[in-house]
Amino acid sequence: MAAVSGTRENFVPEVAQGIADWVADVVPAALPDDVIHEAKRRLIDSVGVAFAAYDCPPGIAARALCRRTRADPGATAIGARTSSSPELAAFHNGVLIRYLDFNDTYLSLEPAHPSDNIAAALAAAELAGSSGRDLLAAIVLGYEIQCRFCDAASLRARGWDHVTYGALSTALLSGKLLGLPAERLRHALALAAVPNVALRQTRSGELSMWKGCAFANAARNGLFAALLAAEGVSGPWEVFEGEFGFWKQVAGPFGLPPFAGVTGDDWMIRRTYIKFWPVEYHAQSAVDAALQLRPQIDVERIERIEIASFDAAVDIIGKDPEKFRPRSRETADHSMPYCVAVALLAGDVTATQFDAEWLRDPRVAHLLNRTTLRRDPLLNAGYPDGIPNRLRITLASGRAVEREVRYPRGHARNPMTDAEVEQKFLAATAGSPLDGRQREVLGLLWNLDTATDLTALFGALAVDRPEEPGNAR
């Protein structure tokens, strides 16, 4: 199995060193303008969904933990006015970005949410005194590394969670921001890989708040690994190909394709998808189909809802009994039947449709009782290029309507415009603590590549309220 050798002339016989060499060689100023622009779009999207989730219970808990720890130098949790430890700031950032299941997605052998990397990037960049361009470049690296791993091997097939790859990507992007040379980056990768293999139980059955915290924890630990490496701590050798390494214990042997810039300009961030609705990504096309069919039917007269889908979608958001009777918001946004039902009833899917009132709504239960979800081998062929879901609704009269959607709005083959990204940001932050300063923040984010540091950005994001639980600590 050939190792990734980056841009070095000499072959490096260890996978981790090859990846570290590539990260060390990336020059932020040399990244293509459109790639930097995509990083801005993902950062705008992530800040927007983070503030939409600002008052979520795990976010409040994470801020309370941040306030208990002061650090100098430190990093600022999104929305805070004071610095905490960089690791806790990264954890808090990650919880907010992920909580509503509204941040972006990548689909491959292993699905993932690569904008989760932004949590660690913000904290590491502030700690390092990085420029806006450096931050955006680090985000691009996080996407590149995590998505290439997702292309290489499935973790969920072996019972592990996708956030395992996130510890690796956040360690490397953090190390890049901290200015670590290639040898130290290798140690950072090893220090992240060995202790941070996460169980897939996070996403099985009835889901808990931990679903939204799992990558936040990976980001915390990835940044911590980079900080340890910066202080001279060494990590295990041959973390991938060793006797008890990643290949044998976690993923099976795999080869990584060349990273962008080695053999071409195929940056992975261009292949990721910004979400149009706050639901698990495999359900996006089913929601799209439901909303297209809704004007053609009387929802009160629905007799039967039949969803035909592909294996990955059924396995992740359809096969468990809990998906037909979700009791938590985390289970509901990971339930294709539930997302279709509320789309038909509400005419849209927003964060509101996952509130307790909707979870208890008898109309939702009525539709779920009439919903079936089955695997369609023909649809498997369309994944992961697309996410083909077919919806057939039969009314009491016997009339049936049907719609199949493969590339929902926001997919890389059906991308949102910059104006749509802005509109999503404005809608997500309306009524949030950021309300009233959205345009100021948008201006800073769109021009971040010209900023010499992040002081203005974190100042504009500071919204802490003295009455919030935990502020008196």
Residue 236, judged by CB atoms within 10 A of its CB (0-12, 13-18, 19+), counts as: middle
What local confidence, expressed as pLDDT, does residue 257 receive? 78
What whole-number distance in Å separates Cα of residue 110 and Cα of residue 407? Answer: 19
- Residue 466's pLDDT is 54
* pLDDT on residue 3: 44
Could you give the angle at the alpha carbon of 111 between the alpha carbons of 104 and 154, nearest 5°?
160
Q: Are 113 and 103 in contact (CB under 8 A)?
A: yes
Query: Computed from CA positions of residues 230, 232, 236, 237, in that sequence, does the dihedral angle turn out positive or negative?
Result: positive
- Residue 134 host element (H or E): helix 132-152
Give me the residues of the chain with pLDDT under 70, please.
1-13, 262-264, 464-473
Residue recorded with tokens 């996410």: 387
Determine the pLDDT at residue 258: 83
Residue in 165, 51, 44, 146 with CA at minimum distance from that of residue 100: 51
Residue 389 near residue 405 (C-beta atoms within 8 A)? yes
Which of 24, 29, 30 is closest to 5 using CA atoms? 24
User: CA 141, CA 271: separation in Å to the nearest integer?
Assistant: 14
Is the full-model pTM beyond 0.85?
Answer: yes
Query: From CA 333, how far away is CA 322, in angstroms rounded?
Result: 12
Secondary structure letter of residue 207 according to DSSP: -
CA 175, CA 125: separation in Å to the nearest integer? 10
CA pair distance 432, 390, nearest whole angstrom: 36
Residue pair 66/468 in contact by the 8 Å Cβ criterion: no
Per-residue pLDDT at 82:
87
Q: What domains can you pick out in the chain, each with its CATH number?
A: 15-271 (1.10.4100.10), 281-405 (3.30.1330.120)
